[in-house]
Amino acid sequence: MAKVRVPSSVIAAGGLVGGYGVARWTKKRPLGGVVLAVAGAAAAQQWRQRAGGKAAGALTVAYVAAFAGSHPLAKKVGAWPSVLGVAGAVALASWAVADRRA
């Protein structure tokens, strides 16, 4: 049986979108934080394997910055557009740095 590997760009974007969705729908922000952290750790592991430690560090910083930056952006464009926008940006960066090499 072939091993299917989910691209790190999908994991990272899914962590941002899924973390927000879980927090919003359960009304338990810490639960959303768990989703965000687990996905971020899984993506970081792939980033490290595919692109090395420096790239993984930079993409991890981008992931955390996207999460933090989505909050003030949400005040201007709305929550979902903000989350989807930063998730798309992180996915694009992840693909460009790590996934397209695979």
- Tell me the pLDDT tens digit for each residue of 11-70: 999 999 999 999 999 999 999 999 999 999 999 999 999 999 999 999 999 999 999 999
- The C-alpha atoms of residue 23 and residue 3 are separated, in whole angstroms, by 31
Whether the CA torsion 10, 52, 69, 95 is positive or negative: it is negative
Instruction: Tell which wins on pLDDT, 84 or 102.
Output: 84
Q: Quick count: other Cβ atoms within 10 Å of Cβ 92?
A: 12
H runs (alpha helix) in the chain: 8-26, 29-51, 53-77, 79-97
101 or 34, which is more confident: 34
Residue 3 pLDDT > 80, yes or no? Answer: no
Give the integer Cα–Cα distance in Å for 48 and 61.
13
Residue 95 one-letter amino acid:
W
Q: How many residues does the chain have?
A: 102
Entry pTM: 0.93
